[in-house]
Amino acid sequence: MRGVTVRPRIPASAVLSELPEPDPSEGPILVEAVAVGVDGTDQEIIDGAYGWAPPGRDQLVLGHESLGRVLEAADVEGIAPGDLVVGIVRHPDPVPCGPCGAGQWDMCRNGRYTEHGIKERDGFIRERYRLEPGFAVRADPSLGRLAVLTEPTSVVAKAWDHAERIGRRAEWAPERALVTGAGPIGLLAAMIGVQAGLDVHVLDRVTEGPKPALVKDLGATYHADLHETDEMFDLVIECTGVGQLVFHAIEHTAPGGVMCLTGIASDDRSIPIDASAINKELVLHNSVIFGSVNAARRHYEQAERALAAVDRDWLERLVTRWVPIDRWTEALERRPDDVKTVIEIGPHG
Ligand code: BGC
Ligand code: ZN
């Protein structure tokens, strides 16, 4: 079977090649790959800036945003051949630490977790792979191949979940939310905010291409410049990782507001910041800024429900390119009207 492997930390080492069938030790659920989404983390791994091969090997199978169809699932409760499934990216550390022991591997405290396609565990850009029952989430069959958006949605489902929990430290009735960045993560974050009944505003620098309309058609408000509004936001979900924007967004966070950082920018230009002014701002306004990465099982389940509830045409428009696996390198090209790019591996119908 074919798959895309990379030698972590060696730039441009990713190749499509012949791989052995998945080892039964990967788990009892045998899956035929349908599609895998690509994101900035994959790009970083391909660039040689991130990623770890499994112990004792120098190659890692790439891909963590999966969707596949179950071929075999002997004696696995709740999963049957023919089901569409999404693999959970992170597995708990072997100790395990407190959060990992409680199924909250997204909150791992000792860094010894593993991640499919990223850290010490083979990923999903290969024709077949195996999953462990606790790490396979049944996709909503009505979503078809669009269920490939489950993993990125799980990441924002966690961000909202934690922002909400932090907000509830005091009387909390959020009305307005700001999402910075209208890439796939920002748009999916906006989707969840709109579903929660919030007045959602999305900031991105483009004025052309599909993003402004995607925001508008969600029922949210698009801004190409935050200076045009003096509105304050109860919640901010930051999805760009651009330092300048992060600090600009602080000025738009309402007293008692919560800001979640989810992005990491590829170009980390340093910017001068007035640390004392920020300190004062945060203290006097009881503000919270927190970081969020990855997702626990319940966030994948929340993601599944959120995706199933949104307009299907809108979701179709979010995936701007489906690239067949033989042309996988094209999936990593950045084209002007790209929102989400997905590699197609097998049939979904
Ligand atoms: C993935 C997360 C992962 C993170 C850091 C992201 O692209 O979606 O699941 O935890 O990278 O490795
Ligand atoms: Zn842990």
CB 39 within 8 A of CB 343: no
Q: Largest alpha-carbon pair distance within the chain?
A: 60
The model's pTM is 0.97
Residue nearest to atom 3 of ligand 1 (CA): 294
Instruction: Check residue 268 and give its pLDDT.
Output: 66
Cβ(114) – ligand 1 distance below 6 Å: no
Which among 165, 157, 97, 137 is positioned nearest to 293, based on CA atoms?
157
Predicted pLDDT at 106? 98
Tens digits of residue pLDDT in 132-156: 999 999 999 999 999 999 999 999 9
Atom of ligand 1 minimally distant from the CA of 41: 7
Mean pLDDT, the chain, integer: 96
Q: Judge whether 240 and 181 are in contact, CB under 8 Å.
A: yes
Which residues, 6+ apart, have CB-to-CB distance to 199 below 8 Å?
Answer: 175, 176, 177, 221
Written as one string, the DSSP assignment of 64-113 is -EEEEEEEE-TT-TT--TT-EEEE-SEE--SS--HHHHTT-GGG-SSS--
Which ligand gives the minimal distance to the CA of 90?
1
- Separation CA 134–CA 48 (nearest Å): 31
Whole-number pLDDT of residue 182: 97
Query: Residue 155, Cβ neighbours under 10 Å: how many?
Result: 25
Nearest CA to ligand 1 atom 7: 41
Choose the residue to mutate in 41, 42, 88, 156 for probing ligand 1, maximizing ligand atoms within 8 Å of C-beta: 41
Cα 122 to middle of ligand 1, angstroms: 14
Which string of b and e fits 199-229 if b means at least 16 CB within 10 Å? bbbbbbeeeebbbbebbeebebbbbeebeee
Whole-angstrom Cα distance, residue 173 to residue 167?
Answer: 9
- Per-residue model confidence as pLDDT tens digits over 174-229: 999 999 999 999 999 999 999 999 999 999 999 999 999 999 999 999 999 988 77
Q: What is the pLDDT of residue 315?
A: 98
Q: What is the pLDDT of residue 270?
A: 83
Q: Report the Cα 69 to chain-centroid distance in Å.
A: 21
Q: How many CB atoms lie within 10 A of CB 297?
A: 17
Which residue is it, tokens 């909503």? 140
Q: What is the pLDDT of residue 206?
A: 94
pLDDT tens for 303-332 read 999 999 999 999 999 999 999 999 999 999
Q: Cα torsion at 96, 101, 104, 106 (round to 10°)?
A: 10
CA distances from 177 to 10, 134, 180, 268 (A): 40, 33, 10, 26
Among the listed residues 142, 133, 154, the one whose alpha carbon sits nearest the alpha carbon of residue 64: 154
Residue 272's pLDDT is what?
A: 86
